[in-house]
Structures are given as C-alpha cells and as structure tokens.
Homo-oligomer: A and B are copies of this chain.
C-alpha cells in the first residue's frame, strides 16, 4: 500500500497485490544446478516495493507498465513479463456528508485488476477489469424459447430474478491514457444496461453491455465478459398452503450457468 500525502492530513491511498511472471533464458536452473539465470522471488518483491516507492500513484494500470518496462530493461536474458495487479479499493469515509481527507472504508463489491503483457521488441498489451461484482434485478428479466430436449425440465418464464457476479476485462489500444476514467465509464455502462433493459437471456444482456462499453470508450479494442448466474429459485411452498408464491426465493450457488463472450470492434 502506498500512502500519497498531499499534505499532513490530506492523503490518497493505493493498495495493490502484484503477480509478476518472468519468461526468457531460464532453462539452466531447470536442467542443472546452475541458478545464475534466476531472479529470486525476494528480488522481485524488493523491486516492486522500490518501484512503488518511487513511481506508484493512484493509477493501477500505469503502474503495471512501470513494472513490466523495468524488468525487460534491467535483465537482458528476459524475453517477456506478465504483470497482474489486483487492487483493494478504499473509498473515503463520508462524515456529515463530506468526504474525509484521511479516513477510508473498504469498497468491497468485486475486485478491480489490471494486466500487462510485455514482450521484448513489441508494444505492451494493457487491460483492466473487475471480478466478482455482484448485482441483481428483481424483475424485467425472463428466459423463454430455449432448446427443448428429453433432459429439459426448466419452465419458461417472463419474470424472474436475475443476479450475477459480473466479471469483465477490457483491452486498451495504444491511444489509451486515462485508464481510470475508462474503468468507471465501463462499469457505469454495465449498470445502465443491466438496470434499464429487459433481459431475454443472460447472453443478450451480456452482449448489450459489451456493445455499450465499446461505444462509450473508444480507447478499448475488446471486452471479455463473464456473467455466471447467481440463481434465486422461487421456493415451493405448496405443501405449506402458499402455492404459486413468487416472493420468497432461495439463493443457490450450485449448479450455476457460466455465460461468457468476447466482444470486439
């Protein structure tokens, strides 16, 4: 975690967990006792801490670039690096309606991340996204007209609860610079489609989210979306003399549908 001190009491924070995977001429250590090519985990850790000290601000995706560039420049025997940064988000506490200068609460609905893929001699490939963002709508969702076969038992419906742990990753093109604004705009687009559009299927809603994200943010070239169903099944209370009720539902983890797609321009 980096504490960025604008003055004695006005601070920003950025807390990140980093994965750094290095590739290159590392065979020696696998094929023999020759460890000369190994950059120890401890050194990688120190490097990330050092770079955080000197260069980390509040932008996760920019810091992925700093790390990737450093490793390729410093170690000639490396051919590539894969960086993933996962952020624990902190929102300012609001006291009497005012954001506080140095007190924060964890913003916990899902986890933002950034990834960078670095290969010597090529432009880096940067992306960011979110995992596990739990959203739900209690109407304006149905599921009808699907494939019917001997294993079909699901009744069609034009009014169901639709909940999902949204996962998304968007890839920046080389013109992107304001990564944080892109992140916010895409999450807003997802919320708008999800809340305001009737969902005939998870598939359709997923695609419409992707379309709007690409329309709103010109600097992304593709978006990968995962929308696993978080099922809420209407409980059968027939034996308890409450038939055909659609008010009490059971959240059901498994089995769940796993709907995914990649949408490009």
Chain A positions within 8 Å of B, measured between CB atoms, are 1-5, 8-9, 11, 13, 15, 17, 19, 21, 26, 29-47, 49-50, 52-54, 56, 74-75, 88, 90, 93, 95, 100, 102-109, 133-140, 143-147, 149-154, 161, 191-192, 194-196, 200-201, 203-204, 206-207, 229, 232, 235, 237, 239-240, 242, 245-251, 253-258, 260-261
Could you tell me if B29 and A204 are in contact, using CB atoms closer than 8 angstroms? yes
Distance (Å) between the CB of A53 and the closest chain B CB? 5
- Among A9, A15, A109, A240, find the residue whose CB has the most chain B CB atoms closer than 10 A: A240
CB distance from A97 to the nearest CB of B (A): 11
Q: A47 touching B135 by the CB < 8 A rule?
A: no
Using Cβ atoms and an 8 Å threshold, which residues of chain B touch A107?
A: 109
Minimum C-beta distance from A222 to chain B (A): 15
Q: Which 10 A-B pairs have the closest CB atoms?
A: A41-B257, A103-B195, A108-B108, A106-B134, A42-B154, A29-B203, A30-B207, A33-B200, A35-B145, A38-B146
- With both beta carbons as reference points, the residue of chain B lying nearest to A205 in the complex is identified as B30
User: Within the oligomer, what is the number of copies of this chain?
Assistant: 4
Are B40's CB and A257's CB within 8 A? Answer: yes
Instruction: Say whether B144 contacts A53, CB under 8 Å.
Output: no
A149 x B74 contact (CB < 8 A): yes
- Closest chain B CB from A134 CB (angstroms): 4
> Given A93-B135, A134-B106, A204–B30 Cβ distance below 8 Å?
yes
Q: Is the CB of A134 within 8 A of B147?
A: no
Whether B247 and A4, one on each chain, are in contact in the complex, defined by CB atoms closer than 8 angstroms, is: yes
> Main SS of chain A's interface residues?
mixed
Q: Which residues of B contact A145 (CB under 8 A)?
A: 33-36
Contact A248 B95 (CB under 8 A): no
Q: How far is the CA of A187 from the CA of B36 in the complex (A)?
A: 30
CA distance A15 to B33 in the complex (A): 30
Further 14 A-B residue pairs, CB within 8 A, beyond A41-B257, A103-B191: A1-B249, A1-B251, A2-B249, A3-B249, A26-B203, A29-B203, A31-B207, A32-B204, A35-B143, A43-B154, A44-B257, A50-B151, A93-B135, A104-B137
Cβ contacts under 8 Å, A256 to chain B = 41
* A108: B residues at CB distance < 8 A: 108-109, 134
Chain B residue at smallest Cβ distance from A200: B33
